Structure 1
Amino acid sequence: MTRRGVLAGALAGTAALALVGCQPSSGGAGSGGGKTTLTVAGQSDNLTQVFNPFLPNSAQALTYSSPGQSGFIYEPLVQINTVNIGHDLPWLAKAWRWSDGNKTLTLDLASGVKWSDGTPFSADDVVFTYTMLKSHPGMNLLGADFATVSAPTPQQVVFTFAVPSQQYFTNIVSCPIVSKHLWSKVKDPTTYPDKNPVGTGPFTLSTFSPQSFLLVRNEDYWQTKAQIHALRFVAYKDNVSMTNALVQGQADWGGTFIANAEKTFVSRSKHNHYWAPIAGTDGLIPNLERWPLSDLAVRKAINLGVDRKQVAAASNDVPATSITGLPMPAYTANIAPQYKGLNLEQDTAKAEQILKDAGYAKAGDGYYAKGGKRVEFSITFPSAYTEIAARCQVLVSQLKDIGIKLNIDTTTVTEINTLTAKGDFDSTMGYPVNSAPRAFSYYNDTINPNLYYPIGKATPTYQNIERFQNAEAAALFKEYPKATTDAQRQQILNGIEKIFVENLPWIPMFYWGSYSDWSTAKATGFPSPDDPYFSPIPNPVVALRLKPA
């Protein structure tokens, strides 16, 4: 599971993986016979032959761009569209409908689907997968919650819920589906490596090494099969090495941040393209149970003291504007009336005054202190995420200007989510989940107090990692599912936005994009600003639309 805001990978910022290869395949573009192999650059510091889709740090996780945009091997019921919002794609489920006051979800499955070993796919596989996730909550990375799941017919699945749950649709339908005939024989699915995965997806595993693995086209795929022959996934240690591979033409497709992309990458070849469609908001994520960020006055001072244009410019992102934290302009219709047009602004004088009014005094070293303790904290992130490092270096300087000391604390890609899930951090940047493209889901992932876990106990779905607690907010999150009209839902959202604005459970800094880089030298058909049909980061929806050049 990667961190949103730095996805090039799993659950939206720098995707943990990309299709890339060290050498073009022997059947490269122009060789005929549909043998085009694309190389994609991805990021991992621990590539092992683990394709269990429910384990966050695995080779399989590298093939997942984000929830609902997955399925090179294991496919979801629906592909969630995070670019053309609301235009989700039927996949293993061809149709769906809610009933019983949004407490029952019925899905009609696609016909003719087969597992890559030739076994027919059916509703029993879906029921088995979700029952397994319910029995092993630690595997339920998307937090899909339901009361029962059943298969009235081989082509139909029915979920029931204790409360109205339409707002969780994207989480529910995005889980990768595994086969009952194979996984039912697994003794412990929480540790099962699944070295030779059998899925329903458009690609199958061919070869694996500690440096890369090759997925080849599923010749018996149930939908129209891919026109490209193979994808080679190569794991790079950081953004710099990934960028170098792309710039040098060793990689054809990636999902990585590139500094000054127009000059560094795009201008190098007429085939090179870079696009980062806005996918969400990110910023400084505090641990609300550690001082000084537990003090609202300190968070307010930071909120006023930073220049978001400089922070965003450090990583070619867009500065956040709305004080509600919602990405703009996509969520304009969801902004509460009192907050429309109210934007985040820098005011360093007011920031320092807030600290003084709260009893802080500036010491001789230039930093504010209270009770003998300096206002000082660290920010933890993977050293491999160079775009986060660039932003944080800007923050170090800006916070020093208002008398707050920020220290850089780097870790590994493998360890970051473990640390933040357990609350073992002062602050971080980049949430480890990708909020679904819905306003409620955005807040639910980040500040729902009902998802609170005490320090030391890991949040199983990586939500509310800052440990926000607020009784009024908890009640609103429980009330939202009961709303029956759009007006009622918006009224509840208005209340949640008010709590966010007044309590600053985390501090919005910039709008992050799904960083995407590709070359059309070997294949065409990628999404673009002119044809934004889906997210351009490595995913099977795009792979199935690519055509050999």
Structure 2
Amino acid sequence: MMSRSPGARVRAATVLLAAAVVAAGCGPSGTSAGAESSTLVAYGGQSGDYQINFNPFAPTTIGGGGTIFQTLFFYNVLDDAEPTPRLGTEFTWNADGTQLSITLRDGVTWSDGEKFTAADVVFTLDMISKHKGMNNSGYAGRAEAVDDTHVTIAFDRPSFVDGPSVLGRTYIVPEHKWKDITDPAVAAVKDPVGTGPYLLEEFKPQAYTLKANPAYWGGEPAVKKVRYLALSGNQAGAAALDAGEIDWQTGPVPGLQDVGNTYPGYQATITHANQIVLATCSSTALGCQGPQTDPAVRQAIHHAVDRTQTNALAFENTGGDVSPSFLLPGRDGALISDELRNKTAPMRPDPAKSQQILESAGYAKGSDGIYAKDGVSLSLTLSVVAGWTDYITAADTMSQQLRQAGIKITVQQVSGNEFVDARDRGAFQVIIDSLYQGPAPDPFYLYNYFYSTAQTAAVGAKPGPNFSRFSDPQVDQALDALKLLNPADTAARQPHLDTIQTRIERTMPYIPVLTQGTISVYHNAKFTGWPTERDLYASPAVWSHPDSAEVLMRLRPAGK
């Protein structure tokens, strides 16, 4: 468990960490001279060395979304505002939502000097259509270049909901560089050419550096360099922050209650968007094996977890209420179904309810205090990424809680690469992870990502975002109906949202834990213009793309 304050253990690590950071090419943030004074050092939780890949579509990408490769528009999922033009300047739909017309920014060049045109947009969209591994949104349009600055996309049916994915989450790549890539869904891009405000300057496994693009169409950024560190995990990040070696960090840190005094010159912003889950490999039909494939077991876990204790011990009480519907209670409260058993997950455990669910499903408690059915003990392995100290603490805490409820949980720490590989192959029983929001502030996207049959695959094959292997005909039908409706027609959409919410609450392939309080600490004595609770113009998380590019473009070295 991480120390709750910057005590002896963290400070002892600081000396070793400071040497490691300097070796990676970074001096103390507040004392660097010359070019270093406008170099921003960031840490987003990378545990272990980087493996170079700036392909924005690959699951192994390490960055570049928004900074190197840009979208047509920027959508802020934390604020229901109009999208901000980027490579696009305006867009319109026809009346029935079957044609999207886009006007592109003129005079933009790729970082190698080639001209950006509508042909690059059409190429990117066609590439996504041809490679299923890249098509996480289910895009099914047909793009056509009208001229160099105009694109139309035709759809066979109303497709309003495809707009934010196409416009706000599709990174446009240069046709002249990508046309010969055999498998762009996984290819390693080591020399990225983009239209964004930054260029790759240097890559090392311990850190890579982006430099400002002097030819950027929006003007050269004031932050001249950004160095992204790879460390050993959250404790190392906290130690580097304590030493003043990091300017921007997203992740758990001790002493959060009084950031300004604990870390002089720094402040923090906490946002609530991603939802922490115990994700199960849920479908026997798609090859999952183990007790977690039983919905009764998942429901019993749901009622046995003490979320209040978990929040205090693992997350410094920064987590928020989570709904079994996986709508955000603050943003989407009006859309949460009245048909749910619980609009938000209980913060305190209900052992009697957990017991009743298991025993009604045929489980009986053995002499060891663990439930069993048909001679098979209710024992599960819960995997977590080594170095993610908050998630490790949460996993350990919940395993103790569930042991009291007659469910045995063995916590297994694995490397980040092992975690992703097992998750993608379905070679897990339970993992602790989070569900993320879509390209716009609309719950449809999370449902389409994580609950659609089209976004999953049998065990052994790589799925889309739906790594739980969840498949439900009623949910699929409701998603198909929502795709045909204008998002502004809330009355017509609500019955379909009700169907999805009630089905996923009952089956619960992703067991809700908390809405994560994402902690971003920033050096406001060195840079100004950070997103705060009063002005969340973008997500302040280092790893949030393309939001992090919006942050970098707003920042200015202090005093300038």
Could you tell me the TM-score, scaled by structure 1's length?
Answer: 0.88
Equivalences for residues 111-190 of structure 1 within 5 A: 111-140=106-135, 142-143=136-137, 145-173=139-167, 174-186=169-181, 188-190=183-185
Deviation digits for residues 489-543 of structure 1 (CA, Å, limit 9, x no counterpart): 1221111111122222321110013331211132111001122221112311011
Which residue identity is paired with 1:94? T
Partner residue in 1 for 2:203: 208
1:386-397 to 2 correspondences below 5 Å: 386-397=389-400
AA aligned opposite 1:332: G
The amino acid that maps onto 2:354 is A
Q: Give the corresponding residue for 2:53.
A: 50
Q: SS in structure 1 opposite 2:92?
A: strand
1:544 aligns with 2:553: yes
Q: Which has the higher helix share?
A: 2
Map 1:18-417; keep pairs closer than 5 Å. 22=24, 24=26, 36-42=38-44, 43-58=46-61, 61-63=62-64, 70-140=65-135, 142-143=136-137, 145-173=139-167, 174-186=169-181, 188-190=183-185, 192-263=187-258, 265-288=259-282, 289=284, 290-313=289-312, 314-316=314-316, 317-339=318-340, 342-345=343-346, 346-417=349-420
Alignment match, 1:488:
492
1:369 CA drift (Å): 0.9
1:448 aligned to 2:452?
yes
CA change 1:187–1:286 in 2 (3 A) is closer
2:275–2:434 Cα contact (<8 Å) kept: no
Q: Distance in 2 between matches of 1:53 and 1:135?
A: 16
- Partner Cα distance (1:340, 1:299) in 2: 15
Residue 62 of structure 1 aligns to a residue whose secondary structure is: coil
- Identical counterparts, % of pairs: 29
Name the CA distance, whole Å, in 1 between partners of 2:163 and 2:518.
22
Aligned length: 518
Please report how far the alpha carbon of residue 119 of structure 1 lies from its aligned counterpart in structure 2 after TM superposition.
1.8
User: Quick one: which amino acid aligns to residue 464 of structure 1?
Assistant: N
Match of 2:476 among 454, 474, 477: 474
SS at match of 1:245: helix
Superposed CA deviations along residues 426-479 of structure 1, whole A, max 9, x for unmatched, are: 0112147554431111222222234342111110x2x22112222222211222
Give the AA of the match of 1:90.
P
What 5-or-longer segments of structure 1 have no aligned partner? 1-19, 64-69
Displacement of 1:30 after TM fit? 8.8
**2-side partners of 1:523 and 1:39: how far apart?**
11
Shift of 1:548: 0.8
- Which deviations, in whole Å up to 9, do the C-alpha atoms of 1:392-439 show, x marking residues without a partner? 111101101110001112221123222112211001121475544311
Deviation of 1:145 after TM superposition, in Å, equals 0.9
Whole-angstrom distance in 1 between the partners of 2:184 and 2:108: 24
What amino acid maps onto 1:458 in structure 2?
Answer: K
1:138 alignment partner AA: G
- 1:439 equivalenced with 2:471 (yes/no): no
Question: Hey, what's the Cα distance between the residues in 1 that align with 2:297 and 2:186?
Answer: 42
The 1:54–1:446 alpha-carbon spacing in structure 2 relative to 1, beyond 3 Å, is closer
Q: What is the deviation of 1:287?
A: 1.3
Helix, strand or coil for the counterpart of 1:515? Answer: strand
User: CA–CA distance in 1 between the matches of 2:437 and 2:444?
Assistant: 13
Partners in 2 of 1:291 and 1:440 — Cα distance?
Answer: 30
Counterpart of 1:516? Answer: 520
Local SS of the residue matching 2:446: helix
Contact 1:28 1:36 in 2 (8 A): no
Could you tell me whether the CA contact under 8 Å between 1:421 and 1:465 is conserved in 2? yes
* Unaligned segments of structure 2, at least 5 residues: 1-20, 543-547
Q: Which residue of 1 aligns with 2:424?
A: 421
Deviating more after overlay: 131-140 vs 89-98: 131-140
Note closer, same or farther for the CA distance 1:50–1:325 as it changes in structure 2 (3 Å cut). closer
SS in 2 for 1:329: helix
Rounded Cα–Cα distance in structure 1 between residues aligned with 2:422 and 2:188: 23
Provide Cα deviations, 1:123-156, integer angstroms capped at 9, x if missing partner: 111111222222222244x435123111111111
Q: In structure 2, do the counterparts of structure 1 residues 406 and 191 end up closer, same or farther at CA, with 3 Å as the change threshold? A: closer
Give yes or no for contact 2:222–2:553 (8 Å, CA) kept in 1.
yes
**Aligned twin of 1:506:** 510
Summarize the Cα distance change of 1:223–1:340 in structure 2 as closer, same or farther, 3 Å threshold: farther
The separation in 2 between residues aligned to 1:258 and 1:34, in whole angstroms, is: 25
Q: Relative to structure 1, is the Cα distance of residues 151 and 271 closer, same or farther in structure 2, using a 3 angstrom cutoff? A: same
Q: Is the 8 A contact 2:200 2:210 kept in 1?
A: yes
Measured in 2, the distance between the counterparts of 1:385 and 1:134 equals 35
Deviation at 1:28, TM superposition (A): 7.9
Moved more, 228-237 or 142-151: 142-151
Q: Measure, in 2, the Cα distance between the counterparts of 1:33 and 1:352.
A: 62
Superposition pairs of residues 517-532 of structure 1, within 5 angstroms: 517-532=521-536
- Whether contact under 8 Å (2:323, 2:343) holds in the other structure is yes
**Preserved contact between residue 457 and residue 469 of structure 2 (Cα < 8 Å):** yes
Partner of 1:206: helix, strand, or coil? strand
What is the CA RMSD across the aligned residues, in angstroms?
2.5
Paired AA for residue 502 in structure 1:
R
- Mapped partners of 1:426, 1:260: distance in 2: 34
The question of whether the paired residues in 1 share the 8 Å contact of 2:109 and 2:115 is answered with yes
